[in-house]
Amino acid sequence: MGQVRVAWSVQAIFRRHPMTDPDMPQHIEIRDGDQTIAAAEVMTCEEAGKTARVLLHAASGHITPGRRAGLVDVVMDLPEVQASARLEATVPLGDTELLERLRQRTHDAVTRPAGCTALVDADIPQCSRPGTGQDRGGETFAW
């Protein structure tokens, strides 16, 4: 099995200037070798009452259990998301691992279907970090 690497797309960060413009999306990927197995687009909106908007998706086929949940952890540990009060997430309908981890990391989550996706609205707790978010048993995180 290959090493799991979570990496922000350097090109996307450079092009979108997330630190100077929080309303521009950030791209996060979990990779197994050269293959992207899960990814997220994250945008925080100050005008929308400190809301973090997240689009989560995973590759089709078998993905080792826990890898999708790891994507949620990386997203929830972003400083911009931690500073937000609300989360609006779009998840592939039926992706129970992503949905369950979102419910574990948020409060008062409401989920509803919308076409081939599920929409999740939830409160982000002040202390949603289970750990430092930097080292997860062999996975490499780069940001």
Most confidently modeled of 17-21, 67-71, 130-134? 67-71
CB-side neighbour CA atoms (13 Å) of 70:
25
Q: How many residues does the chain have?
A: 143
In this predicted structure, what is the pLDDT of residue 136?
41
* Pair of tokens at residue 49: 């009452």
Look at 135 and 99; give whichever has higher pLDDT: 99
Cα angle: 129, vertex 131, 135; to 5 degrees: 125
Look at 9 and 97; give whichever has higher pLDDT: 97
Cα angle: 2, vertex 7, 10; to 5 degrees: 135
Kindly report the pTM of this predicted structure. Answer: 0.72
Grade residue 22 by pLDDT with cuts at 50, 70 and 90.
Answer: low
In this predicted structure, what is the pLDDT of residue 17?
41
Of the ranges 5-19, 46-60, 112-126, which one carries the lowest mean pLDDT score? 5-19
Say whether 23 sits in a helix, a strand or coil.
coil
Residues 6+ apart with CB under 8 A from 23: 43, 44, 45, 46
Tell me the domains of the chain and their CATH numbers.
4-128 (3.40.630.30)
